[in-house]
Structure 1
Amino acid sequence: MQDDMTGPLLGIRVLDATAALSGPVATQILGDMGADVIKVESPDGDTIRGMGPARHDGMGAMFLHTNRSKRSIVLDLKEGAAREAFVRLSGTCDIVVCNTRPKAMARLGLDYASLSKERPGLVYVSIVGYGAGGPDSDKPAYDDLIQAVAGIPLLHAPGEPPRYAPIAVADRVTGICAANAALGAMVHKLRTGQGQHVEVPMFETIAALVLADHMAGLTFEPALGPPIFQRYVSIRRPFPTADGSICLMVLTDKQWRTFFNTAGQPEVMDDERFKTVASRTRHLEALYGIVASLLKQRPTDEWIALLQEADIPVAKLETVQSLMSHAHLIKTGFFQALQHPSEGAIRTVAKTSNWSLTPTGPTRPTPRLGEHTREILAECGYSPQQADELIAAGAAREAP
């Protein structure tokens, strides 16, 4: 954890009313930037607390990797006293992030319209499944469902069965976009004093991600051809070598000439089909067929040495296990080994960006359920006796 709090969001307070992945990803980004993130959980806790290996109940691996740099308070929002505490807490915050369906928050009186009456400068970010105004705006959304409606499972090689991306890409990309939206709204607030409600819909976010690559000919009116960028769906994959696989990216005219010179087949670039980017794009299957036949003739390590020497972009095919000891990640401090107060020795991803003045990174260990309930209630003006009463009534809960 950072010894000296220097992040760019130092002094910004965030109320994290999210669960699962999209919202927690967003708020962890803000927490790693130095914001004081207060995670409001139900008495049962975030749904992902139980996912993955764990030393203790409620502290699973996925939760540990998505909820550091936060404090946890338990409020049972079905109880009026807990809702009052939520309102008081929101009055101390600059940003509220929520991924509960808007109508549910409105019924509780915890939506933007309700909270902003007392705090007009509040930034309220709602992560929803589908944007307001459409016929699907009230539908629930989960990563698998959003991948499906955005067409991702069918973006595999023709003839292969549909399958989801093997990471929660819809949740995590939406979370990153929500953090970006919160930061943009905060800049506006700091300039003008005005808060606002920002909606970040998962479907639209992931549909944009897919269509930016694959709208292709449908970009134009009238269409200049069908959708789908064929290199991505039918050709883009590691190439087999004599003893394994290799990953390379050859794009420019110079790179293609260098590649075929290195492979001992310079005459390939004399073919009219391969002389320009436009013509190569039209004949990708033929081009990549030649590449594949050449790469099968030598072992992986020999190709990597040859192509690196020729300055051709190339990479080894790594596994999750090999990433844990990847020389570059180790040297740059990507991982951080730390002693968690309750979970013991753990390893976490420490940073994904480098800052010259206000470095970011984990600021707090991932909290146990309700670990900071009393502390946060006190910051909202609750006396120890009032906190006792909330807990005794079941409106709040603290960690053992």
Structure 2
Amino acid sequence: MNGPLDGVRILDLTSVVMGPYCTSLLADMGADVIKIENLTGDSTRYLGPSKHQGMGSLFLHLNRNKRSVTLNLKKEEEKAALLELVKEADVFVHTMRPKAIEKLGLSYEHLNSLNSRLIYCGMYGFSKKGLYKDKPAYDDIIQAASGIAAAQGKITGDPQYLATVLADKTAGLFGLSAILSALYHREQNGYGQEIEVPMFETIVSYTMLEHMYGKTYSPALGPAYYSRVTSPNRKPYKTKDGFISVLIYNDKHWKTFFEVADRKELINDKRFSDMTSRTEHIDFVYGTVEETLLTKTTEEWLSLLNAADIPCTKVNTPDDLFEDPHLNSINFFESVQHPTEGEIWNMKFPVTFSKNPLEVNRYAPNLGEHNNEVLNELGWHLKQKNY
């Protein structure tokens, strides 16, 4: 493996999206990620289009650069194999609720007794220190509980989920950063530790960063909504022939926009004078831009606004991204040959390291594909048909 995490071994007992997204990033950065699955496998294996059962599209993207081992952890011999892996691992990541992982005998206290250098990361719905500790959670539940769905409702009229699994992926990123921090701490101090990444608290902190707004102060200076992002008029603008995204942000942008749009009469309008005034009159501001952009085609506006260095873009569909000139210029989507699934499209890891060029060394594994490889590394043989 290449990458800055070459030599780091991670035991991945995660499923769905949050945990696998976290460990996929670690794998892409060079870690040896061993995905421990039960005999039916991660549920995302069966989600989305597939050529073969258990190799769904989402699974392919979440699990490249990993090895798959199937273990029935309710059987003592197979759990013993996992515990042998723990002794040599750097990181153990799971997405089971606290009661479930403890019932399996895989608590932090037990694994720490086997390997004091182990980083143990639990990723689940709600902190085990709080009242909701035993509640199940998925992305939709956390979007609703954290205020995201209600904030979207300020725009749409009814609470609405975002069109991406934001809670899962964001919590996955928090898990990634926590694990990397703990690895760095271990290098300085020599010992591991337990990390808890609860989705609810994580996404509340993420969502409320801007939506604390007036509630930041005591007594409150206003409601807990950032008015700019919850305005119904905050959306891509219609042009004569389509839609365009424009963010006229700072004072210089506004002056330039009024000049290129031939709306010079608004340059001295106090409602546009500074960030505070524009925020106070946000619906009028957005409405003014909307009526202005209806006067030209999308390409006309892109030409004018790009020349003026005002942030703008066409509104892409997911399908459009495969034809995006910039993405194509860096070969972001790569056609590769999966050993069992044939030709598939991979996305490049978006971050580059000058000293550790990253690459895909393994494509998403079939269920239990690496049983013999990994267990033989331990000198371990399981007397079961499945192996």
Name the SS for the 2:182 alignment partner: helix
Q: Measure the CA separation in 2 of the matches of 1:361 and 1:172.
A: 22
Q: TM-score, normalised to structure 1's length?
A: 0.94
Query: Deviations 1:157-216 (Å, cap 9, x if unpaired)?
Result: 456222211111111111111111111100011111110000001001111111002110
Query: Deviations 1:60-115 (Å, cap 9, x if unpaired)?
Result: 00000100010000001111111111111111110001101121111111121111
Q: Which residue of 2 aligns with 1:292?
A: 290
Q: Which residue of 2 aligns with 1:210?
A: 207
Q: Call closer, same or farther: CA 1:291–1:70 in 2, change over 3 Å.
A: same
Query: Deviations 1:299-340 (Å, cap 9, x if unpaired)?
Result: 111111111111111100001111012111111122221110
For structure 1, the residue ranges without an aligned partner over 5 or more in a row are: none
Q: Which residue of 2 aligns with 1:81?
A: 77
Q: Measure the CA separation in 2 of the matches of 1:14 and 1:335.
A: 27
Q: Measure the CA separation in 2 of the matches of 1:186 and 1:54.
A: 36
1:231 aligns with 2:228: yes
With 233-242 and 337-346 compared, the bigger mean Cα shift is at 233-242
Q: Measure the CA separation in 2 of the matches of 1:325 and 1:293.
A: 30
Aligned residue among 165, 190, 195 for 2:192: 195
1:239-278 to 2 correspondences below 5 Å: 239-278=237-276
Query: Deviations 1:115-166 (Å, cap 9, x if unpaired)?
Result: 1101111100100211121100111111110111012112224562222111
Structure 1 runs of 4+ off > 6 angstroms? none
Q: Contact (CA 8 Å) 2:211, 2:224: kept in 1 or not?
A: yes
Q: Contact (CA 8 Å) 2:98, 2:128: kept in 1 or not?
A: no
Q: Contact (CA 8 Å) 2:234, 2:286: kept in 1 or not?
A: no
With 148-157 and 45-54 compared, the bigger mean Cα shift is at 148-157
What do you get for the CA RMSD once the two structures are aligned? 1.1
Q: Measure the CA separation in 2 of the matches of 1:59 and 1:68.
A: 12
Q: Contact (CA 8 Å) 1:218, 1:224: kept in 2 or not?
A: yes
1:58 aligns with 2:54: yes
Q: Contact (CA 8 Å) 1:31, 1:363: kept in 2 or not?
A: no
Aligned residue among 105, 116, 141 for 1:145: 141
Q: Measure the CA separation in 1 of the matches of 2:246 and 2:274.
A: 19
Q: Measure the CA separation in 2 of the matches of 1:90 and 1:254.
A: 57
Aligned residue among 52, 65, 88 for 1:69: 65
Q: Contact (CA 8 Å) 1:252, 1:277: kept in 2 or not?
A: yes
Name the SS for the 2:356 alignment partner: coil
Q: Measure the CA separation in 1 of the matches of 2:334 and 2:14.
A: 26
Q: Which residue of 2 aligns with 1:184?
A: 181
Q: Measure the CA separation in 1 of the matches of 2:243 and 2:81.
A: 57
Q: Measure the CA separation in 2 of the matches of 1:6 and 1:351.
A: 13
For structure 2, the residue ranges without an aligned partner over 5 or more in a row are: none
Q: Measure the CA separation in 1 of the matches of 2:331 and 2:283.
A: 40
Q: Contact (CA 8 Å) 2:125, 2:200: kept in 1 or not?
A: yes
1:172 aligns with 2:176: no
Aligned residue among 358, 361, 367 for 1:360: 358
Q: Measure the CA separation in 2 of the matches of 1:361 and 1:24.
A: 18
Name the SS for the 2:113 alignment partner: coil
Q: Measure the CA separation in 1 of the matches of 2:334 and 2:241.
A: 34
Q: Which residue of 2 aligns with 1:328?
A: 326
Q: TM-score, normalised to structure 2's length?
A: 0.97
The alignment covers a number of residue pairs equal to 385
AA matched with 1:139: K
Q: Contact (CA 8 Å) 1:100, 1:127: kept in 2 or not?
A: yes
Q: Which residue of 1 aligns with 2:158?
A: 161
1:7 aligns with 2:9: no
Q: Measure the CA separation in 2 of the matches of 1:378 and 1:101.
A: 31
Q: Measure the CA separation in 2 of the matches of 1:238 and 1:70.
A: 39
